[in-house]
Amino acid sequence: MIKILVIILILFFFFFLPQKTEDMKWVNDENEVVVKKPFVIKEPIDSTPIEQVKNNVNTPTTNDWWKYPDVIYETKRNGNDLLVLVNKQYKLPSTYAPSDLVRASNSGIRRGENYYLRNILITDLTDMINSANSEGIDLSIVSGYRSYQTQVSTYNYWLSKNNNNVEYVDTFSARPGHSQHQLGTAIDFSSSEIGDVLGDSFSNTNASKWLIENAYKYGFVISYPKGYESVTGYKYESWHYRYIGKENALEMKNSGMILENYLRSKN
């Protein structure tokens, strides 16, 4: 009788109590690793015609800048459009993927050659890298294109590392569909100055200072500048640049707008 009770207890603990899941490993964009049961926050998609939604430089900001709005809209422009607005209010479809992805190695980058980027930016990226090298500036790539599913894994990873604190993670990691990396035109840069790692220390490098002064000449602009968290919805990221084309980047620079407001004025 005692043996039977012991067996019943063992079966109960095995089948009915929560099992500890494996710790998530860092997601490598190059390998497109995806978790088995991803965490995804379901967001309501409003059916109001996009033209009726006011989304311009006058959009009110909030002290709770990291929060997502109550209603989420799908992007008005196609993801292939260099000026598509992707932020915390506008998201890309889970099925969107660029059709012209190529290896970053086509640009001659020293590190990060296996990441994928849109072919439309490769020529300008190559010119920028060569120009930087000629001035003694070393650039590397530590993140490029991420699929929707890879962003699911990336977001999950940061949740697992921060006790599932959604509000904290939302300050620096985009939820699936809301990441510029899904466009294939966003790049996270680093440099040998800091061991080719991703982090806040990049802001103090010569590479970062060079990008601030020169990236726009090649069509690249910083996405999340310092001091504009209440507008962009994300912490300052000195390493995160997005390609919008040389003419657009020059127009944006001359306008004095940051990327978020520039894109709002175009959408």
CATH number for the domain that contains residue 182: 3.30.1380.10
* Residue 7 belongs to some domain of the structure: no
pLDDT, tens digit, for every residue of 137-172? 999 999 999 999 999 999 999 999 999 999 999 999
* Residue 125 belongs to some domain of the structure: yes
Per-residue model confidence (pLDDT) at position 4: 52
Q: How far apart are CA 66 and CA 169, in angstroms?
A: 9
* Residue 35 belongs to some domain of the structure: no
Residue 37 has pLDDT above 80, yes or no: no
Per-residue model confidence (pLDDT) at position 141: 96
Confidence of residue 240 (pLDDT cuts 50, 70, 90): very high
Q: Are 177 and 93 in contact (CB under 8 A)?
A: yes
Residue 61 has pLDDT above 90, yes or no: no
* Residue 142 belongs to some domain of the structure: yes
Residue 5 has pLDDT above 80, yes or no: no
pLDDT, tens digit, for every residue of 39-50? 444 444 333 333
Q: What is the mean pLDDT of the chain?
A: 83
Structural domain containing residue 222: 73-266
C-alpha dihedral sign at 249, 193, 151, 160: negative
Look at strands 116-118 and 140-143 and give their pairing. Answer: unpaired
* Residue 108 belongs to some domain of the structure: yes
Number of domains in the chain: 1
* Residue 10 belongs to some domain of the structure: no
